[in-house]
Amino acid sequence: MTTASKYLSVILITLLFASCNASGDGDSIHADTTSTGYVDTMNLYNQQIEDGATQNQQHHAEGILAGRIEPGDDDMTFKCMDSTMSPNPNTRKFYFKVLGVIISKADGALSEAVSNYLLTIFRTYPADFLSFYRDSHTPKDVIESFLADEFESMEPAAVDTYFASVLSICTTCNADDKKLVEAIKMKVAQEARHNAATDRPQE
């Protein structure tokens, strides 16, 4: 597992078991969380803006969208995925498009990182994630597969706990959104069980 992937796993676990006091769809998490790791991530994002580092990131993102740059297991690609959790909704919207391309080309270490990112993004901005899931050209089963990868080695109850936290955060979700979350949960749980059974050593 890469260093970036391990770091994202820590963020995910912290978010998963944090108390759900948010009143909006994600923004209040940034203000209320006591998770040092997540706060540091957002501070790093803000520092990048102050340092002008996002100019290179923008170039990298546009290159990925245009097919000039292959996304890889590198800092700039990770920064592009970080920006799907920007406090700015327009920034999130743009980088979700970049994320779709990254997902379609992810393999190896990048594939592992994508799984972590998707779970963190879904838990942080569920409404944005659902819009991405509905509207992206990325096949839905591919997104579900990446989500399932992280639950393969966990207890089955972890899926229920995670998706319950998603629903508790998504205060703007309507009835259709909630049905979609439940549908995604069922598919993720099914694939995670299948993968776990397939990977289990034969006795």
Structure tokens belonging to residue 190: 């099914």
CA–CA separation, 26 vs 12, rounded Å?
A: 14
Structure tokens belonging to residue 119: 């779970």
Supply angle C-alpha 171, 173, 175, rounded to 5.
130
Amino acid sitting at position 162: Y
Q: What is the pLDDT of residues 48-59, one digit of tens each?
A: 544 445 788 999
Structural domain contains residue 61:
yes
What pLDDT sits at residue 159? 95
Structural domain contains residue 70:
yes
Structural domain contains residue 40:
yes
CA–CA separation, 137 vs 104, rounded Å?
A: 9
| Of 201 and 82, more confident | 82
Supply the DSSP symbol for 119.
H
Structure tokens belonging to residue 138: 């990325």
Structural domain for 94, as ranges: 3-195
Number of domains in the chain: 1
Instruction: Output the pTM of the full model.
Output: 0.71
Structural domain contains residue 59:
yes
| Of 158 and 36, more confident | 158
Q: What is the pLDDT of residues 88-138, one digit of tens each?
A: 999 999 999 999 999 999 988 899 899 999 999 999 999 999 999 999 999
Q: Answer whether 130's CB lies under 8 Å from 21's CB.
A: no
| Of 153 and 65, more confident | 65
